[in-house]
């Protein structure tokens, strides 16, 4: 069948023929674009912030906790994927609702990686239990990636925490890298507690393709520093 003309009219029946190829729409329809470009306009803002300990994932302070307004003076942006006040690391903010959902909503399964200092020495059984997904009081968790980090990872790559963690000298500690595709309330801490590894310190180091330790021309952001992410970097969040 041929494409309909602007004005309908009667025609003699014709044998069916292949539909001619359509011209590409000006917007590039038919060409698959990166996820972030499809869910967010090119003028969407994405701000990366190295959240210190003691700062809430909201602009207003509460009690002893600071708010984001002490660090970020930019109207119209909202947190995409919260961090607890006593956790640190990569916090993303955006002015685009669809992008916010893509980052924060567990349905989209966006990977988030945390470096976690735990009390005790993880054995094979505990690591496998974490990878399989412990059952928490709100149900089973998804399987995740877990790796043991070098002992000196904190000294080499992270800013000191203020105040420092309190640990018992008689009990060793270890650092783990845990990558999740969901984001329940205090999930990493609860998962580690479920396998007998209490969390002493938690730092989120990546969300999707955004890496906390390689944002500032390949160097880590300073503690409390924020910077925008370009459209090209947005397209890495898939």
- What's the average model confidence in pLDDT over 92-102? 90
Whether residue 96 has pLDDT greater than 60: yes
Indicate which residues carry an active-site annotation: 84
Q: What is the CATH number of domain 32-110+209-238?
A: 3.30.70.580
CB-CB contact of 174 with 117 (8 Å): yes
- What's the average model confidence in pLDDT over 126-146? 94
Task: Indicate the pTM of the whole model.
Answer: 0.80
The tokens 């600071």 sit on which residue?
66
**CA–CA separation, 150 vs 214, rounded Å?**
19
pLDDT in the model for residue 16: 42
CATH fold match for the domains 32-110+209-238 and 111-207: yes
CATH architecture of 111-207: 2-Layer Sandwich (3.30)
pLDDT in the model for residue 2: 41
- Per-residue HEC secondary structure of 120-176 comes to CCCCHHHHHHHHHCCEECCEECCCCEEEECCCCHHHHHCCCCCCCCCCCCCCCEEEE
* Tokens read off for 15: 């044998």
Confidence of residue 208 (pLDDT cuts 50, 70, 90): confident
pLDDT in the model for residue 103: 86
Q: Where are the domains of the chain?
A: 32-110+209-238, 111-207
Each residue's pLDDT tens digit, 143-184: 999 999 999 999 999 999 999 998 788 899 999 999 999 878
**CA–CA separation, 206 vs 233, rounded Å?**
13
Each residue's pLDDT tens digit, 7-46: 333 233 344 444 444 444 434 434 334 444 444 555 788 9
HSE (CB half, 13 Å, CA atoms) of 23?
Answer: 3
């Amino acid at each position: 069948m041929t494409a309909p003309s602007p004005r309908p009219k009667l025609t003699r029946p014709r044998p069916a023929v292949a539909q001619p190829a359509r011209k590409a729409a000006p917007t590039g329809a038919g060409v698959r674009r990166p996820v972030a470009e499809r869910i967010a306009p090119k003028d969407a803002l994405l701000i990366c912030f190295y959240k210190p300990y003691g700062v809430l994932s909201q602009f207003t302070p509460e009690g002893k906790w600071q708010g984001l307004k002490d660090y970020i003076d930019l109207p119209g942006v909202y947190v995409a994927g919260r961090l607890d006040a006593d956790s640190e690391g990569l916090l993303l903010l955006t002015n685009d609702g669809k992008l916010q959902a893509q980052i924060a909503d567990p349905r989209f399964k966006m990977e988030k990686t945390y470096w976690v200092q735990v009390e005790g020495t993880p054995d094979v059984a505990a690591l496998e239990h974490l990878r399989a997904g412990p059952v928490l009081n709100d149900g089973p968790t998804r399987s995740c990636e877990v790796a043991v980090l070098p002992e000196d990872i904190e000294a080499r790559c992270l800013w000191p925490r203020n105040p420092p963690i309190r640990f018992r000298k008689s009990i060793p500690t270890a650092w783990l890298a845990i990558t999740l595709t969901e984001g329940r309330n205090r999930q990493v801490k609860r998962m580690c507690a479920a396998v007998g590894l209490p969390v002493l310190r938690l730092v989120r180091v990546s969300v999707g393709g955004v890496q906390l330790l390689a944002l500032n021309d390949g160097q880590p952001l300073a503690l409390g520093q924020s910077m925008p992410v370009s459209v090209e970097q947005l397209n890495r969040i898939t």
